[in-house]
Chains A and B, each alone.
Chain A
Amino acid sequence: MNNFKKSLTTFLSLFIILSVDAQEATNADIMRSNGKIYVVVAIIVTILTGLFLYVASIDRKLTRLEKEQIKK
């Protein structure tokens, strides 16, 4: 759980840094080029990463329960 929280916080802070960056940047930066499609890509990658982290955390919880079950 601690590992999961840590990775989530790291991940979220990464996006705060990115968003601060975006406010300061001019119109010529990469996020605003190509019809701003990179914004959509960033959102989809965020959702995908979040979902995978969530599924992985459920996976870890199940593994722990299974190990406890074997010990009994």
Chain B
Amino acid sequence: MYKLTHLKELESESIYVLREVAAQFERPAILFSGGKDSIVVTYLAYKAFYPAKIPFPLLHIDTGHNFQETLDYRDALVKKLGAQLVVGSVQESIDKGRVKEEKGYNASRNRLQTTTLLDTIEEYKFDACIGGARRDEEKARAKERFFSHRDEFGQWNPKNQRPELWNIFNGHKNMGEHFRVFPISNWTEMDVWQYIYAENIPLPSLYFTHERRCFLRDGQWLAAEPCMTLKPTEEVVTRRVRCRTIGDITCTGLTISEANTLEDIIAEIAATRVTERGGRADDKRSETAMEDRKKEGYF
């Protein structure tokens, strides 16, 4: 007797969405951050078009504050898939005077990425950017569509989203407008990990326990890398940690953990009582930090 599991159903839905993007847009790209969600989206794209190559380039917005492991993983994956890689550099945006670096201890290039992203979209004339955002991640994302329409300024207008029914996706747009597409909208953090486990998808080593020099700020462990400015009271110590999500160094919280395998990670997440974005400094800036950034054109 055939059994339809939640992973099969979610995988099928995501592959359907990815194929719709290929059919409806002229120049789509996958927003690749090196985190597990964009890795899963890229893997699903590989499955959706096999044996043809993925018909989109990978677009990485590089804040210049990335973990080396992320960059190594990205380059190896691009080589393996024979995919095209486009890098938008936040450092270049700063050098060109497009954006201004934040100051202070909690300075982050997280928000600056938006300008680099929109500039890169314009330069390459991308009409759809495929992202790994999930609705369970954050309250503003709970109201996001699979096909999310953005105006000429890249802005998201939550009050004027197109109704999205059944599995019919409307990718029509005017000149200069574009879409963000989120194929794994309906996946939860646990689904992503179970899928990575079931399909045996390789991940950057940052997700597994390792020794790292880090420091504690506002109850959150952060990596002691050169791009971080320490307060006089903050002390660098070595701990066994892993990342639950990976963003750039300035906003990626580290979890004290001994999880060494995918089984360990799944068990750890099943027992945890804090959401994965609980460790993300970028979301803590205000009650509606994510919504505000999305309106400006953030991922």
Task: Say whether A associates with B.
Answer: no
